[in-house]
Amino acid sequence: MHEAWYRVMSIVVLIVGVWEGPLAIVYRLVSGDEGTVMRAANYLPSPWCYVVAVVAALLLYGVLAVLDTGHKKALARQKARNDARSAAQSG
């Protein structure tokens, strides 16, 4: 995965996950928010909005972990290719 795409995807996932997760809970507790398009979890009645927000935060963590693992594997493959090229050129 190209470095720029990894960073863009990570930032988008982080923003959406935090906004739909912890911030939805904070908005609900502080202002009694009944939901907007940007905080869809708050459309749900009281106990379920918290459950959905926590699930969104856990999903955020999972997607970021998958992205990070894929990024590390891509960097390792790129390093192995570069090492093989330099070994072929010097040998």
- Residue 34 CB contacts under 8 Å (≥ 6 apart), including other chains: 42, 43
Contact 41, 52 (CB under 8 A): yes
53-57-61 Cα angle (round to 5): 165
pTM: 0.73
- 39 has a pLDDT exceeding 80: no
Q: Residue 59 — very low, low, confident or very high, per pLDDT cuts 50/70/90?
A: very high
Q: What is residue 91's predicted lDDT score, i.e. its pLDDT? A: 65
Please name which of 3, 4, 8, 6 lies closest in space to residue 66, comparing C-alpha atoms: 6
Tell me the DSSP string of 18-46.
Answer: HHHTHHHHHHHHHH----BTTBGGGGS-H
pLDDT digits (tens, 9 = 90+) for 62-89: 999 998 998 888 888 888 888 888 888 8
